[in-house]
Structure 1
Amino acid sequence: MPRDLTSYPIRARRDGSSVLVENHASLQLYDLGGGRLELSAPQEEGAMGLDVALAAFEALTNHGDESAIRLTGTDWTPLLPDLLAKGIALQAEIGPVVLPASLWQAADRWCPQDAANYPTLWQQGPHGRHPIRPPKPTGLLYQRHIPWLDQVLTLRALDHSDLETFHRWQNDPRVAEFFEETGTIEHHRAYLETLMTDPHMLPVIGTLDGRDFAYFELYWARENRIGAQYDAAPWDRGWHVLIGEENVRGADYVTAWLPSLMHYMFLAEPRTQSLMGEPKASHAQQLKNLSRGGFAHIREFDFSHKRASLVQLERQHFFEARLWARPETGRGAPLCFSPARLPTTGDWT
């Protein structure tokens, strides 16, 4: 069921000893060092809803160098049951805390559609059994403000209105060198129709501030050709990418769309534990980008049309290493907490 996005996304920013949430509230912030923050809710009645809280938490964790946010004061009380129930906040010895690894697994801030609570039902596929896949989502899938670009990145399910853009991109020689799918508009219409009706594929368009810039193919690994190359778990997912616009290239953009796409796939299906890829083994730049983005190189293998590298990103690594942030920032503040080791009084003094 889509969430109400009338005021989404509310943005917030850190400003010295405050977190300013646009048109809503100012939250008092205390930085204790070592990645430890304390945040007080505003005292104005009605100022603190879940959307305001999530905007503030995102602003404090978008750069990947905070370890824990302690929620101080009684003004959090009305929101705490919801925050604790969703796992956004965890109850620790020092009181309720928000950890980046828990916050960024809560879809409420970034995904307008709830993850499908779909049963695991099995059927036979090309590489053994695989789960029956949930109905594919339509419309807006994901939305995130990228602080180093100061732009909003969105992902949406491709539909028929995207045909001309897809056709133009595929016939760009730079794109064709790697995607190898040039052709007429009728060829591309048939190509997309096949994907849109295939339960294991999800074609996606990426935008920055409303401008289309990329095409992604998301797939379930077990019934894909990659499923013949390794022992795929039931909910492993893979992806292909096409950056269609020449001026949306380079490290600033890769560090925006790559972790955001991975983030969406982990949020869309909580049972997904690994994201897989099979880039050309000779595509040195893409392999370098994937390595910086947290992907491990497993091995090389041969498809009929290319020599490929099998790469993998694990869910636990993505969230605990805070890979949504730019590689050159934060990562590994002096104190690192996880649900297995919540902050104690000794950590906070």
Structure 2
Amino acid sequence: MDVYVEEVGAPPIPSLRDGWRVAPIEPGAEAVAVVHDWMNRPHVAAPWDQAWPYERWAREIARQAEGEHSRPCLAHLDGEPVAYLELYRVLRDRLAPLYPYRPHDLGVHIAIGDERNLARGLGRTLLRAVAEGLLAADGRCTRVVAEPDVRNEPSVRAFTAAGFVRTGEVTMPHKTAALMVYPRTQEDLPQW
């Protein structure tokens, strides 16, 4: 790669529309308690495997907030928190060696917090808005990726409905993941 890691900044915070807003979580913020609560709910705890105590989540949010790898955020719809997001730079992530990434590729992890917001189309609407917002926020980024567990069929369906393309599978230490890619153009899909 011709680009040095230091030249690629932290993931941007995308500007969204249609009532959506993404806000970074600051260490010690009230939002840490929201994330802790959501991560301990069965529908999130199973796929994320991070049903940690509050103190561990507080440390995790602080660690992410001070680095350039990942940015912890809450996604709000009409002012109400709906989802926890981690926006990340692939070149600093364990995903990087598993597919032919580009230096400015961005990734997203998502957890819809409240069970009442599942199966309502909010996930796919948010994912499309975040992908488009990230591409707009970083003109050098040509694709946004995600790696849901292949067994998490609702998540894979939501990414597909949002316009992500399943380009293959990658084996990670804790899961086999579907590599989902939202490309700027069809030519930006990874070639394996």
Q: Is the 8 A contact 1:221 1:227 kept in 2?
A: yes
CA distance in 1: counterparts of 2:92 and 2:175, whole angstroms: 19
2:189 maps to none
1:171 counterpart (15, 31, 40): 40
Between the aligned residues of both structures, percent identity stands at: 22
CA distance in 1: counterparts of 2:42 and 2:82, whole angstroms: 16
CA distance in 2: counterparts of 1:300 and 1:134, whole angstroms: 27
The 3 A distance-change label for structure 1 pair 284 and 137 is closer
1:262 maps to 131
Aligned-partner residue type, residue 188 of structure 1 = W
Gaps of 5+ in 1: 1-120, 124-129, 146-151, 318-349
Say yes or no: does 1:134 pair with 2:9: yes
TM-superposed CA distance for 1:229, in Å, is: 0.1
Q: Is the 8 A contact 1:137 1:157 kept in 2?
A: no
1:49 maps to none
1:156 counterpart (20, 23, 30): 23
TM-score (structure 2 length as normaliser): 0.87
Q: Is the 8 A contact 2:64 2:71 kept in 1?
A: yes
Q: Is the 8 A contact 2:124 2:159 kept in 1?
A: no
2:175 maps to 306
Q: Is the 8 A contact 1:202 1:218 kept in 2?
A: yes
TM-superposed CA distance for 1:292, in Å, is: 2.1
Say yes or no: does 1:276 pair with 2:142: no
The structure whose Rg is larger is 1
1:222 maps to 91
Paired residues for 1:58-77 under 5 Å:
none
Q: Is the 8 A contact 2:16 2:130 kept in 1?
A: no
2:106 maps to 237
CA distance in 2: counterparts of 1:283 and 1:137, whole angstroms: 27
Say yes or no: does 1:200 pair with 2:69: yes
The 3 A distance-change label for structure 1 pair 301 and 135 is closer
Aligned-partner residue type, residue 17 of structure 2 = R
Give SS of 1:199's match. Answer: coil
Q: Once the two structures are superposed, what CA deviation does each residue of 1:206-252 show, in whole Å capped at 9, x if it has no partner?
A: 01111111110011111211101012111011111011112222243
1:288 maps to 157
CA distance in 1: counterparts of 2:160 and 2:16, whole angstroms: 24
Q: Is the 8 A contact 1:205 1:212 kept in 2?
A: yes
Give SS of 1:142's match. Answer: coil
More helix as a share of residues: 2
TM-superposed CA distance for 1:289, in Å, is: 1.9
Q: Is the 8 A contact 1:131 1:234 kept in 2?
A: no
Q: Once the two structures are superposed, what CA deviation does each residue of 1:75-102 show, in whole Å capped at 9, x if it has no partner?
A: xxxxxxxxxxxxxxxxxxxxxxxxxxxx
The 3 A distance-change label for structure 1 pair 314 and 131 is farther
Q: Is the 8 A contact 1:155 1:206 kept in 2?
A: yes
Q: Is the 8 A contact 2:82 2:114 kept in 1?
A: yes
Q: What root-mean-square deviation, in Å, do the aligned CA atoms of Structure 1 and Structure 2 show?
A: 1.9
* Larger relative contact order (Cα-Cα within 8 Å, sequence gap ≥ 6): 2
2:190 maps to none
CA distance in 1: counterparts of 2:145 and 2:10, whole angstroms: 21
CA distance in 2: counterparts of 1:137 and 1:264, whole angstroms: 9
TM-superposed CA distance for 1:136, in Å, is: 6.2
Give SS of 2:34's match. Answer: helix
CA distance in 2: counterparts of 1:212 and 1:132, whole angstroms: 33
Q: Is the 8 A contact 1:280 1:306 kept in 2?
A: yes
TM-score (structure 1 length as normaliser): 0.49
Q: Is the 8 A contact 2:147 2:179 kept in 1?
A: yes
Aligned-partner residue type, residue 102 of structure 2 = A
CA distance in 1: counterparts of 2:39 and 2:159, whole angstroms: 22
CA distance in 2: counterparts of 1:310 and 1:136, whole angstroms: 19
